[in-house]
Amino acid sequence: MNPLTERAEKALSQHDLCDHCLGRLFARVSTGLTNDVRGISVRMALNVELALEDKDPYLHRSSCYVCEDIFDTVPRFAQAAAEALSKVEFNNFLVGTRVDPLISEREEQMWSIVGQEMTEPIKAELNQEIGKALEKLIAKPVEFKAPDVVALVDTRFAHVEIDVAPLFVYGRYLKYSREIPQTYWPCRTCKGKGCQKCNGTGKQYQTSVQEIIAGPIMRAAEGEEHFMHGMGREDIDARMLGTGRPFVIEIRDPKKRLIDLKALEEEVNASGKDRVGVIGLRFSTREEVREIKLASPDKAYRVVVAHHGKVNKERVIEVFHTIDRTCISQQTPSRVQHRRADLDRQKTIIMAELESFDQETMTIFLRTQSGTYVKEFVHGDNGRTKPSLSELFATPLEVLALDVVEINDNTEV
């Protein structure tokens, strides 16, 4: 007898198996076949050999020992999944299954009889078979890597739970206001519950870039909660200009995902008006959130600095000429010291340029390495940043206004 038919006989002489459960014992023997076809072939090969020896064939007569013929119910599982999925919008899906532990137990028992090396668990086959049936039923494809929705079928009760993946939307934002933070800030006093201090809003700031952009997207997607993943952030009192800052908005539990981002972009820009703008909304992925969090782009700033008439223009131009990928050392700024570790960071000031100069103030264009504390580079933070412009000009300097004018993340806008 050949080793495969011998293996099949070992199994079938103990228990009556359906073609699926027989075929799964040979799942890794050949690819491109379904398990039931494998089961049919190996049973036929075995029965031919037995017939030559004048012995009785192994036919599947009663109920399958392992699965009790659960595969006959696949169309019903698919139907139940389709019904559950009809409540949400999605482009693709994946099926997961829960099986009766007794089935898994009996399956493992078969493995101990014939050996586990060529087998595949029943869950894998059920996922695949229900998935195929569902693809036909709803005309949408199975997606393994990042499905929009997972239908979890409990095969004991044909009950289906659905798990909807968050919706991710990429864009670049502009902030024209010096009064709103990037993300939602819960009230410091009540931590978001709502108290007298925050007028019951639960918020430290009335609104945020996140709320202005994510609010309309979440309403369109009929989601439950939103998060903002920005490529860094600027201070509340700094504007974000130029081509904006990349971000991804994450909407949890969206019921709709075929939303019109062009229309939403217009809606955000209309309601954001002189506070927040948005460019280039498009669908994104969890993967892109990771990339955005890991990015460390150079940035350019425009800073209005008060010098109180203590420096002259020629000296400023002269000093700025010497700034060319200049390394500075920054100890954690005193203003954020209470929430960040006190560290020394080496940062590079790529270039500095004087844009305008008058008796009291000057406007400076600065290009710096990611993570540079620009205000501190100007005023020196009591010697915690070295060198600083204040130190180089030997006079106290004061930052009057700061704008981020460029995030150099190498994407075309």
Active site residues: 235
State yes or no: cis peptide before 101, omega within 30 of 0.
no
Q: Least separation, in Å, of the C-beta of 289 and Zn ion?
A: 29
Phi/psi-derived region of residue 318, left when phi > 0, alpha when psi is between -120 and 50, beta in every other case: alpha
What backbone torsions phi and psi does residue 303 show, to the nearest 5 degrees?
-125, 130
Q: Which is nearer to Zn ion, 22 or 259 (CB)?
A: 22
Taking CB under 5 A as the rule, does residue 187 contact Zn ion? yes
- For position 104 contacting Zn ion by CB under 5 A, the verdict is no
Q: Is 64 in the site for Zn ion (CB under 5 A)?
A: yes
Angle 74-85/122-138 helices, nearest 10 degrees? Answer: 60
Out of 18, 134, 364, 374, the residue judged to bind Zn ion by CB under 5 A:
18
Q: How far is the CB of 72 from Zn ion (least distance, A)?
A: 10
Stretch that binds Zn ion, among 64-72, 97-105, 107-115, 272-280 (CB under 5 A): 64-72
Is 67 a binding residue for Zn ion by CB under 5 A? The answer is yes
When the beta carbons of 204 and 411 are compared against Zn ion, the nearer one is 204
- What CA–CA distance (Å, rounded) separates 196 from 160? 45
> What count of other Cβ atoms lies within 10 Å of the Cβ of residue 205?
16
Cβ distance 321 to 353 under 8 Å?
no
* Cα–Cα nearest to 299, from 227, 360, 350, 364: 350
> How many residues at the interface with Zn ion, by CB under 5 A?
11
The pair of structure tokens assigned to 66 is: 């392992």
Task: Specify the residue, 198 or 251, whose C-beta has the smaller distance to Zn ion.
Answer: 198
Q: Which residues pair with 349 in a beta bridge?
A: 326, 368
Q: Among 198, 220, 300, 392, which residue interacts with Zn ion (rule: CB under 5 A)? A: 198
Q: Which of 189, 285, 348, 363 binds Zn ion (CB under 5 A)?
A: 189
Site string for Zn ion, 144-183 (x = CB under 5 A): ----------------------------------------
Q: Which is nearer to Zn ion, 208 or 330 (CB)?
A: 208
Distance CA 322, CA 80 (A): 71
Pick from 146, 141, 90: which is nearest to 258 by CA? 90
Q: Which range, of 61-69, 110-118, 176-184, 309-317, touches Zn ion by CB under 5 A?
A: 61-69
What is the rounded distance in angstroms from the CA atom of residue 292 to the CA atom of residue 409? 9
Interface ranges with Zn ion (CB under 5 A): 18, 21, 64, 66-67, 187, 189-190, 195, 197-198
